[in-house]
Each structure stands twice: as structure tokens, then as C-alpha cells.
């Protein structure tokens, strides 16, 4: 191990850059659908040794060392995000004649930008780098801060945070409830970096002991939570998840819109299995209704005719809002609750829009600098100023998150006592049979764990599922499996933590690893002087 570490430290030039990129790309195998988290031990150990090589070169000035650390982290991030997000380009091929030109921006441009956050992480770590356990604590602090910044800077994009690699199954998801995604990400980097200590010996025993203790606590807390019975719900819900698998190109064709609507109705009207209860709620995916529903009272009437007495439909649809004479209407990506009389009982609009998919961020700036092609990317939606809860006739509340919104941990701010489940409507057909839908689904499951509530998820092409408050799949439909799935579950809430608790615990974790890094750095300075 020492020999391997030494060889990596001495690398320079193209070989050094290539290894940093490959180490990051290898780490993407920890993400769905592969989910082989152990590769991150290799990725982060290599990263530590590459950074050791910078620190160990006496010919480098401080500023050059910082620059080298930044570039190494950026290359690592560029590899990680390129390997983990290449599937974004699939959406641009749906209408290739208009948007294929943007393929390099999606496949390489976005990873290059996201890599800057990991460059910042290694730069921060370099500031307090040492030759002992403290350096992996410094790296953990740097990555924790970088992942937190990535959740809101430039509209935010916390997709595939390192913490997801440490939480592939429910046993390993439970730490997200008290620590949140970013707290888990911070500690995960410490644990995944610990094998690097075997290559340099200094700080080996305390570092490995602490890493093992964190891993054992992570698994132990998961086992404890999973062995606790869910509280008895006062009510049960039976939901039908409709997964129509409508081709995205078909959804965009005006001539096919009635056929698309009819397919949803046909799947919804299927009889329940013998001996099984009729659904209380039928759930359609994001933008299932391919026209402005309120402009078509006949469509509302057909929905009412399809529903049995007491049933409601929860569906994604586009909502138009008139702005008055001479003003163009505003359009919202919305969710409706519709009863058996064809009446809209409740509605909620999307708050956090997808950049370059539903709107163009910084449009004025882009227009000023002549980026007309970017401005012509899909958009046209308005964001709601605040999220509205969906209320069912029974009085139960649903917390709606449309597609992209569910990747943001802070978006799930559950009002106490008013919400029975999180509901997520999405359309991942844009990305085809790629890792994208699997990654999206894992992030949705983590929101259920954090909120301590059941998750009801309907996706056009998958993955649709009912997930319990501990992240376990109760029922669902696989990717590209057309049909309807019924599931009955108890309405239960196991949450004892909220976002404020998770944010506080995250900063306590950051403080702990930063102190460890600082103490180690001070000791290192005194030794060399």
C-alpha cells in the first residue's frame, strides 16, 4: 500500500490529471443503478494521495500548491459528474433538430461547472493539510461545505451528492434523518478517505478507528430504525399509481393529445384485483394532461365519469393564469386534485423550476451577451411564490413535489400535523433507459426518510412506487413497465427530526472535522519547524 501511495504521489502532468479524472469517474459506480459504494474507498484514497503529492513537493510555492489542489479536485469532480450525468444529453435528442447543438453543454459543460465545487473542496482542504489523520478530516470538511453550497448556488443542483453513495439501501439511509444529506456526505468522505492512511502510516490507528466507529454507528442506527415497528396509522390509504409510458415525442404532438389522455383514463379505470380494495386516490404523473385542463370542461367531466364514488384523481397538468388584456398568460407546472364530479378540489404549482428545462435563468444577462441559442432552450413556466398543500376530501394533506423539486432536501419543509404523505409526480421519459430515473428515485426515497412520511410517486415511464417512511419500497412499477399499481398503506409519521435539526447537526459535524483538521495542521507546523 505504501508503495502504491508513493507512486501516485510522484505522478505529474497528464498522468496525474488522468488519474484524478478516472478516480472521480470510478466513484460514479457508487450511484444507481450500480450502487457499488465500495468504489468510493478507492476514489477518495487516490484523491488523498494525489493531494499528498502536492503537499510533499518543497519546490511548490503556497499559491501554486493551492492552484494544483484546486485543479486536482476539479478534475476529480469533472470525472465524477461526467460519468454520473452523461444521460442528461438524452433529453436533447428528443427534438434533436432543435437542441442537439446543446449536447456538449449538457454532457461536458455541466460536469465542468459542477467540478468547480469539488475544486473548491480540495482547495479548502489544502489550506489546513497535514501528514496525519487531520488531512482526511480537512477533505471531509471541504467536501461537506462544497455539497452544501451546491444545493443553492446558481439555483442549486445537489444531484448525486457523495452522501448518496453511502446510502444505497434502507439500512444505510437512516442516518439522513438526523444528519441530512450534507451531514452524511461530510462523514462519508472521512470514512471513504480513511484507507489512504494505510499508505502513509501517520495517524493510521486513530483515523481508521474513528472511520470504523462512524461506519458502525451509521449501520447500527439504520438497523435500530428498521427494527422499530411503524406507528399504527389512524387511517389507511389505497392508491393507484398510473404509469402509462407515453413516448415523449408523442406527448409533444398536438394530434396525439386525445389519445394520450384516453390512455391515462383506460389505465385508471381498470378494476381492482379480486379481494383488494378500490383505490381511494388515483395518481397520474407530471403534466399527464396534455392540454390546459380548465379550458376543456368535457375532459373534467370524463375524469368525473371515470372515477368511482368517493375517489379522487391527483394529476399533473399545466395551469394557465390570465394576466389581463394585452398581457400574455402565465403558465405553471401544477398538480390538481379532482373529485368524482369532475371538480377541482385543490391545486399546487411548482416552486423550484428546472433551469433550461422550464425557464432560462439569467435570461437578461444571456441576451445581453448574445447567447440567443441558450435563450431558445425549453422554458416558459413561472414559479409559484410558495408551495400549497393538497387537501383530500377526507381531510388528509399531501405535500406535493413536482419532478426536480424532490432533489432538494430543504424543499421538504413539512408543517407539523398537517401532512400524511409526500407526493412526487415526475416525467423521467426525457432520459430514457439511462441511470437518470434510478438516481432520481433514490433521491426521492431519501426525502421520505428525512421527512419520516410515506412517499407516493408516479412517473410517466418509471420508477413509480409507494415508499414507507423508512425508505422501503411497498409497491411499485419498474422502469418502462406500463400499467397501474395499487397499494394500501397506513398513514404514519415517524419523524422526530426537522430541517432545522438536520442543518444544526450538519454544522456540528463540519465544526468537528474542521477542528480535527486544524489541530492536526497546528501539530504539523510545529513538527516541521
Q: Which residues are catalytic?
A: 286, 350, 403
CA dist 272 and 486 (Å) reads 8
Q: What is the DSSP letter of 60?
A: S
Provide the grid cell at 373: 441559442
CA dist 214 and 281 (Å) reads 42
CA dist 210 and 203 (Å) reads 11
The alpha helices in 377-424, defined as continuous H runs, are: none
Distance set, CA 519 to CA 65, 237, 450, 529 (Å): 21, 54, 33, 16
**Beta strand 281-283 with 312-321: parallel, antiparallel or unpaired?**
parallel
**In terms of Cα–Cα distance, which of 468, 448, 343 is closest to 393?**
343
Partners of 289 in beta bridges: 317
Q: What is the DSSP letter of 273?
A: P
Q: Give the up-direction half-sphere exposure of residue 427: CA atoms within 13 A in the CB hemisphere.
A: 25
Q: What is the DSSP letter of 153?
A: G
Distance set, CA 220 to CA 172, 182, 227, 453 (Å): 9, 19, 11, 21
Helix or strand (DSSP H, E) at 421: strand 421-426
Q: 33: buried, middle or exposed (CB in 10 Å: 19+, 13-18, 0-12)? A: middle
User: Percent helix, strand and coil across the chain, each rounded to 5?
Assistant: 55, 15, 35
| Ramachandran angles phi, psi of 423, nearest 5° | -120, 130
Provide the grid cell at 365: 444577462
Partners of 485 in beta bridges: 241
Amino acid at each position: 500500500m505504501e508503495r502504491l501511495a508513493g507512486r501516485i504521489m510522484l505522478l505529474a502532468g497528464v498522468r496525474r490529471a488522468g488519474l484524478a479524472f478516472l478516480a472521480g469517474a470510478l466513484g460514479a459506480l457508487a450511484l444507481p443503478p450500480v450502487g457499488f459504494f465500495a468504489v468510493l474507498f478507492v476514489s477518495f484514497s487516490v484523491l488523498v494521495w494525489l493531494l499528498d503529492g502536492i503537499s510533499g513537493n518543497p519546490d511548490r510555492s503556497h499559491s501554486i500548491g493551492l492552484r494544483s489542489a484546486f485543479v486536482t479536485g476539479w478534475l476529480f469532480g469533472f470525472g465524477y459528474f461526467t460519468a454520473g450525468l452523461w444521460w442528461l444529453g438524452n433529453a436533447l435528442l428528443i427534438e434533436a433538430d432543435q437542441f442537439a447543438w446543446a449536447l456538449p453543454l449538457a454532457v461536458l459543460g455541466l460536469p465542468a461547472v459542477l467540478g468547480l465545487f469539488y475544486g473548491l473542496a480540495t482547495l479548502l482542504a489544502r489550506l489546513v493539510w497535514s501528514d496525519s489523520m487531520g488531512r482526511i478530516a480537512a477533505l471531509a470538511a471541504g467536501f461537506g461545505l462544497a455539497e452544501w453550497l451546491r444545493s443553492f448556488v446558481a439555483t442549486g443542483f445537489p444531484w448525486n451528492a457523495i452522501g448518496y453513495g453511502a446510502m444505497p439501501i434502507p439500512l444505510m439511509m437512516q442516518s439522513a434523518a438526523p444528519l441530512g444529506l450534507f451531514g452524511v456526505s461530510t462523514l462519508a468522505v472521512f470514512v471513504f478517505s480513511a484507507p489512504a492512511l494505510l499508505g502513509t502510516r501517520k495517524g493510521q490507528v486513530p483515523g481508521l478507528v474513528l472511520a470504523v466507529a462512524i461506519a458502525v454507528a451509521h449501520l447500527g442506527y439504520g438497523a435500530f430504525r428498521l427494527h422499530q415497528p411503524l406507528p399504527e396509522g389512524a387511517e389507511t390509504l389505497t392508491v393507484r399509481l398510473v404509469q402509462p409510458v407515453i413516448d415523449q415525442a408523442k406527448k409533444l404532438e398536438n394530434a396525439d393529445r386525445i389519445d394520450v389522455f384516453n390512455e391515462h383514463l383506460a389505465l385508471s379505470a381498470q378494476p381492482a384485483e379480486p379481494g383488494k380494495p378500490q383505490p381511494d386516490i388515483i395518481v397520474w404523473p407530471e403534466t399527464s394532461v396534455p392540454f390546459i385542463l380548465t379550458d376543456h370542461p368535457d375532459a373534467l367531466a370524463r375524469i368525473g365519469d371515470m372515477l368511482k364514488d368517493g375517489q379522487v384523481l391527483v394529476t399533473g397538468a399545466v395551469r394557465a393564469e390570465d394576466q389581463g388584456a394585452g398581457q400574455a398568460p402565465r403558465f405553471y407546472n401544477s398538480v390538481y386534485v379532482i373529485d368524482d364530479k369532475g371538480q377541482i378540489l385543490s391545486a399546487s404549482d411548482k416552486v423550484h423550476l428546472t433551469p433550461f428545462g422550464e425557464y432560462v435563468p439569467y435570461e437578461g444577462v444571456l441576451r445581453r451577451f448574445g447567447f440567443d441559442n441558450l435563450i431558445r432552450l425549453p422554458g416558459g413556466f413561472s414559479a409559484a411564490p410558495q408551495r400549497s398543500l393538497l387537501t383530500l376530501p377526507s381531510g388528509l394533506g399531501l405535500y406535493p413535489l413536482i419532478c426536480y423539486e424532490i432533489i432538494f432536501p430543504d424543499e421538504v419543509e413539512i408543517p407539523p400535523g398537517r401532512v400524511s404523505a409526500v407526493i412526487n409526480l415526475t416525467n423521467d421519459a426525457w432520459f430514457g433507459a439511462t441511470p437518470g430515473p434510478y438516481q432520481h428515485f433514490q433521491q426521492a426515497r431519501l426525502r421520505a426518510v428525512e421527512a419520516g412520511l410515506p412517499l407516493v410517486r408516479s412517473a410517466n415511464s418509471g420508477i413509480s412506487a409507494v415508499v414507507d417512511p423508512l425508505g422501503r419500497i411497498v409497491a411499485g412499477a419498474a422502469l418502462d413497465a406500463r400499467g397501474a399499481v395499487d397499494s394500501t398503506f397506513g398513514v404514519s409519521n415517524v419523524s422526530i427530526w426537522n430541517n432545522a435539526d438536520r442543518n444544526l447537526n450538519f454544522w456540528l459535524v463540519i465544526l468537528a472535522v474542521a477542528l480535527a483538521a486544524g489541530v492536526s495542521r497546528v501539530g504539523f507546523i510545529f513538527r516541521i519547524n
